[in-house]
Amino acid sequence: MPDRPIRDKALCYVVRNGELLVFRHLDYSFEEVGVQIPAGTVREGEDPQGAALREAREETGLHDFSVVRKLGVVEYDTTPYRAELQRRHVFQLALHEEAPDRWMSSEDHDGVGPPTRFECFWIPLEHGHVLQSGQGALLHRLFEDDAG
């Protein structure tokens, strides 16, 4: 089997009052994409922390985030969906502005193609096991005093 590319990704655990910010895609079925957290590709020349903040802003429509800490790095094999390995840099973020319990957002992908529509909402941290594609792999670190 040929080598698969490794893509750096940034994942965001945005936590507020014991709840985790998640979203669902409005243009894809729940069975196809499930419940997700803000996440995306680290662009060339961008550091993972900057990518995490950018992705959180782009996907939620909110703006006032800060990085609390880096929780770690995990690898995830996206096969059979895509022949790629992801090196996921996982961050805990804080939100410093008011946000409703549920709202609609969209990401315009820098004007390339149609926007992606999202419904953002909060779930209890203990329900984080519902996250798709291994996105909850480091949730347990939110309960540790030191992310290490």
Average pLDDT on 122-138 reads: 95
Tell me the two tokens of residue 36: 């997700």
Amino acid at 31: E
User: What is the tens place of the pLDDT at every residue in 90-115?
Assistant: 999 999 999 999 999 999 877 788 99
User: What is the tens place of the pLDDT at every residue in 61-93?
Assistant: 999 999 999 999 999 998 887 888 999 999 999
For the full predicted model, state whether its pTM sits above 0.85.
yes
- Residue of 36, 23, 39 lying closest to 101 (CA atoms): 23
Q: Does domain 6-143 have CATH number 3.40.50.2300?
A: no
Chain-centroid distance of CA 102 in Å reads 17
Confidence band (pLDDT; 50, 70, 90) for 148? very low
Average pLDDT on 108-126 reads: 91
